[in-house]
């Protein structure tokens, strides 16, 4: 019997826009946030309240970012989160928020969202976030500050993966005679033993040429499209057969990760 995960019902018909935190506004994050803007417009057209996104990133736009990330020369020196959200708010008429800081931080420990999306390049940020989110697994009620899902993006130069899992211990599933409903999808830190990985900081790139040696031009945008499509189907159709995918640009292959 094919496995399936039914989206938490609270997200399908909420009384407010679904709250989303995007952590990291770089190569993948800038693409993801732009996709979320289009997704919000589409959801509203279908009668859904849409999304309210807050972007976290302490970094500023540099010359090396222009071209590979969604920033222009006019945004040099600006905070990435502020530049990205300001542009999207003007374009779509939103009131999304930008925070020029890491998440979680000492000032954000009480702040949560329904969906957390990480687009960072360090294992430390993932393990730190999970230590914070685990404290809220057993919440007995849902509101705009209840963390329900965590989607993580990660990539190397020409390969990458995206994985969504639930922060809540279990998400109630309807009975089905056709599929096998799965109430729990592991988050990335439950799939990968990050505590055993030794991380080396490569530092910021000084030029676009150097940046492309670390991450190829279209790896971020293609990965963002795949991940956002998984999230789009979960919100539009209320279910998913896949919790993510592996992408390899060298072979032009996408391998789905079943529920």
According to the model, what pLDDT value does residue 200 have?
Answer: 56
What value does the mean pLDDT take over residues 88-116? 90
According to the model, what pLDDT value does residue 94 have?
Answer: 99
According to the model, what pLDDT value does residue 1 have?
Answer: 94
- The larger pLDDT score, comparing residue 109 to residue 34, is at 34
Q: What is the tens place of the pLDDT at every residue in 78-91?
A: 999 999 999 999 99
* Residue 95 burial by Cβ neighbours in a 10 Å radius (0-12, 13-18, 19+): exposed
Q: What is the tens place of the pLDDT at every residue in 203-226?
A: 555 556 666 778 899 999 999 999
Q: What is the tens place of the pLDDT at every residue in 155-171?
A: 999 999 999 999 999 99
- The larger pLDDT score, comparing residue 212 to residue 59, is at 59
According to the model, what pLDDT value does residue 248 have?
Answer: 98
According to the model, what pLDDT value does residue 140 have?
Answer: 75
* Positive or negative: CA dihedral 202, 62, 159, 188: positive
Q: What is the tally of structural domains in the chain? A: 1
According to the model, what pLDDT value does residue 106 have?
Answer: 67
How far is it, in rounded angstroms, from Cα 141 to Cα 101?
28
CATH of the domain at 199: 3.40.50.720
Provide the mean pLDDT of the chain.
92
Range of the domain at 80: 3-258
What value does the mean pLDDT take over residues 183-187? 97
- Starting at the edge strand found earlier in the chain, the sheet holding 115-118 runs 97-99, 51-56, 18-23, 115-118, 149-155, 159-166, 242-248, 253-258
pLDDT above 60 for 196: no
According to the model, what pLDDT value does residue 54 have?
Answer: 98
- The larger pLDDT score, comparing residue 106 to residue 30, is at 30
Helix or strand holding residue 15 (H, E): none
> In the structure, what pLDDT confidence band is assigned to residue 122 with cuts at 50, 70 and 90?
confident
Are 20 and 115 within 8 A, CB to CB?
Answer: yes
pLDDT above 70 for 244: yes
In Å, the largest CA–CA distance within the chain is: 56
Cα angle 112, 115, 121 (rounded to 5 degrees) comes to 95
Give the 3-state secondary structure percentages of the chain, helix then strand then coil, rounded to 5.
35, 25, 45
Neighbouring CB atoms inside 10 A of 106's CB total 7
According to the model, what pLDDT value does residue 52 have?
Answer: 99
pLDDT above 80 for 25: yes
What value does the mean pLDDT take over residues 44-50? 98
pTM: 0.93
pLDDT above 60 for 137: yes
pLDDT above 90 for 141: no
According to the model, what pLDDT value does residue 193 have?
Answer: 78
- The larger pLDDT score, comparing residue 140 to residue 229, is at 229
**Left (φ > 0), alpha (ψ -120 to 50) or beta: where does 47 sit?**
left
């Amino acid at each position: 019997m094919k496995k399936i995960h039914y989206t938490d019902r609270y997200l399908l018909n909420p009384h407010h826009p679904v709250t989303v935190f995007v952590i990291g506004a770089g190569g993948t994050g800038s693409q993801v946030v732009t996709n979320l803007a289009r997704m919000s417009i589409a959801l509203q057209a279908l009668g859904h309240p849409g999304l309210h996104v807050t972007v976290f990133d302490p970094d500023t736009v540099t010359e090396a970012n222009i071209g590979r990330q969604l920033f222009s020369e006019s945004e040099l020196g600006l905070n990435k989160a502020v530049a990205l959200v300001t542009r999207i708010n003007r374009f779509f008429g939103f009131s999304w928020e930008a925070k020029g800081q890491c998440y979680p931080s000492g000032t954000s420990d009480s702040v949560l969202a329904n969906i957390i999306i990480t687009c960072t390049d360090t294992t430390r940020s993932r393990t730190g976030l999970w230590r914070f989110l685990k404290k809220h697994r057993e919440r007995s009620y849902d509101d705009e500050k209840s963390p329900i899902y965590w989607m993580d993006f990660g990539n190397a130069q020409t390969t990458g993966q995206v994985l969504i899992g639930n922060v809540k211990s279990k998400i109630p599933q309807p009975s089905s005679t056709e599929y096998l409903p799965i109430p729990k999808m592991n988050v990335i830190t439950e799939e990968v033993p990050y505590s055993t990985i030794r991380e080396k900081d490569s530092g910021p790139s000084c030029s676009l040429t150097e940046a492309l040696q670390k991450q190829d031009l279209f790896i971020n945008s293609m990965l963002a499209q795949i991940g956002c499509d998984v999230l789009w189907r979960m919100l539009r159709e209320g279910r998913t057969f896949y919790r993510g995918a592996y992408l390899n640009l060298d072979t032009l292959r996408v391998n789905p990760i079943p529920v």
